[in-house]
Amino acid sequence: MRSFKARIENRTRAKASSERVITWELNREISAKDELDHARKGLAHQLQLQRKIISLQDSSSAGQTGPEDLRASLAELRHHVEGVKAFFAGLTNPMLYNEHISWSQRTDESAAHEVFGMPEMLEMILEYLSIRDIFAFQQTTSQAKTMVTGSPRLQSLLFLRPDPVEAPFRQPPLDALAGLELCRPCPRVDPTEVRVVVLYQKTRPKLGENYRRMLVAQPPVHDMDLTISCCNGNGGRQRNVTIGIHCDTGFRFGNLLDLAVQKQMEHRHCPFAELDLHDEDGFVRPDVTFVGHASRLPLVTALVAGASSPWFRDVLVPGPTTDDFQQELHQYILHKQQTHAGGHIIETVGE
């Protein structure tokens, strides 16, 4: 009786052990299948993510990406990023706390952070902003500045990085320079001409460092002609004075502004200036014009610093018109011409 009971117990234990082995093998097969499916899903998300980024880059280069397309693409990219993150999170247990938080609950991984973490996507978005807005954006954080300064595409759009000579010719938009209003002369249109006029003002005009480094055109203009209004007037004292200037790296607005201020100071006592170019102190207030020509022939109009610019709003005031002052100024102009002809230093009105 005892041996029979022992045999029954042995058979029961053997059966239970066999069932545990079968269950373990079955669970292992199911787990392996789940891991394989999980890996396939992660790989699919990765491939879709790569294809979407390449597609966005191609459509952006072709100019076929609009704001609505960007929003839809961002949602799709976010979905694939979550899929890839879920795959890697399954390989590393325990999962990080952030992986258990839904997208809407995360405060440190907002949609903006996701976009800023993808330089390609951020670059495409910034291309839709104005030059002034991009300069303002890069001042927000060190990461933003690094991204803008490190992007050849954005540096070219900002006129900071020279384009190759075969690139289409273009000039900064009319509102590109902060503190300087630009206008294009009409009806004259010369598709090869680049024209910049710096009007006279008593105080030296200020221009931010970013704007000083902007090229006056793309591709860069290396040769320009400089003329000064006091020596190129319409009266009897007209002199055709044109100075050719050259810059190996291409002219930038800072170069032209510094040279214009220098020439304006040198011509404060110009003996060939017309009456209306003198201020109330007898000093000449000449404008300086820079003219260059593009090597290509696209449709582009001239770029001119307008007289309505805030730079010059406080100094473009009507000069004195009293008869006594007019006579005194005429005598002073004759004195300047005689002094210049004699090779002497020209004195001021007060002297």
Q: Are residues 219 and 83 in the same domain?
A: no
- Interatomic CA distance for residues 223 and 246, integer angstroms: 5
| Residue 206 belongs to a domain | yes
| Residue 276 belongs to a domain | yes
- Interatomic CA distance for residues 215 and 238, integer angstroms: 32
Q: Are residues 65 and 190 in the same domain?
A: no
Convert the pLDDT of each residue in 113-154 to its tens digit: 666 677 788 888 888 888 888 988 888 888 888 889 999 999
Res. 246 pLDDT band, cuts 50 70 90: very high
Res. 77 pLDDT band, cuts 50 70 90: confident
- Of 225, 223, 220, 235, the residue nearest 276 (C-alpha): 235
- Which one of 106, 128, 150 terminates a domain? 128
Q: Are residues 113 and 46 in the same domain?
A: yes
| Residue 209 belongs to a domain | yes
Given a contact cutoff of 8 angstroms between Cβ atoms, the answer to whether 200 and 247 are in contact is no
Asked if pLDDT for residue 99 goes beyond 50, the answer is no
| Residue 143 belongs to a domain | no
| Residue 172 belongs to a domain | no
Q: Are residues 188 and 293 in the same domain?
A: yes
Tokens (6 digits) for 283: 């000093």
Asked if pLDDT for residue 160 goes beyond 90, the answer is yes
Res. 236 pLDDT band, cuts 50 70 90: very low
Q: Are residues 193 and 332 in the same domain?
A: yes
How far from chain centre, in Å, is Cα 72? 25
| Residue 156 belongs to a domain | no
Q: State whether the Cα torsion 103-107-113-117 is positive or negative.
A: negative
**Highest-pLDDT range among 162-176, 177-191, 318-332:** 162-176
Q: Are residues 99 and 235 in the same domain?
A: no
Q: Are residues 200 and 309 in the same domain?
A: yes
Q: What is the DSSP string of 176-223?
A: -STT--EE--SS---TTEEEEEE---SSPP---HHHHT-BSSBSPP-E
**What does R_g of the chain's alpha carbons equal in angstroms?**
36
Q: Are residues 326 and 194 in the same domain?
A: yes
CA separation (Å) from 246 to 165, 243, 254? Answer: 17, 10, 14
Give yes or no for a cis peptide into 219 (omega within 30° of 0).
Answer: yes
186 Cβ contact list (under 8 Å, min separation 6): none
Q: Are residues 115 and 254 in the same domain?
A: no
Q: What is the pTM of this model?
A: 0.53
| Residue 18 belongs to a domain | yes
In the chain, how many domains are there?
A: 2
Q: Are residues 188 and 322 in the same domain?
A: yes
Note the pLDDT of residue 313.
27
Q: Which 3 state secondary structure label does DSSP give 127?
A: coil
Note the pLDDT of residue 159.
92
| Residue 38 belongs to a domain | yes
What does the mean pLDDT of the chain come to? 70
- Interatomic CA distance for residues 279 and 336, integer angstroms: 15
Q: Are residues 92 and 233 in the same domain?
A: no
Convert the pLDDT of each residue in 19-43 to its tens digit: 665 666 666 666 666 666 766 776 7
* Max CA separation in the chain (angstroms): 147
Q: Are residues 333 and 231 in the same domain?
A: yes
**Token pair 């002052």 in the structure block, residue:** 325
Tokens (6 digits) for 216: 């006056």
- Which one of 111, 128, 145 terminates a domain? 128
CA count, 13 A, side-chain hemisphere, 135? 17
Residues spanned by the domain of 70 = 2-128
CA separation (Å) from 165 to 255, 265, 297? Answer: 21, 35, 12
- Which one of 66, 94, 128 terminates a domain? 128
Tokens (6 digits) for 125: 């978005």
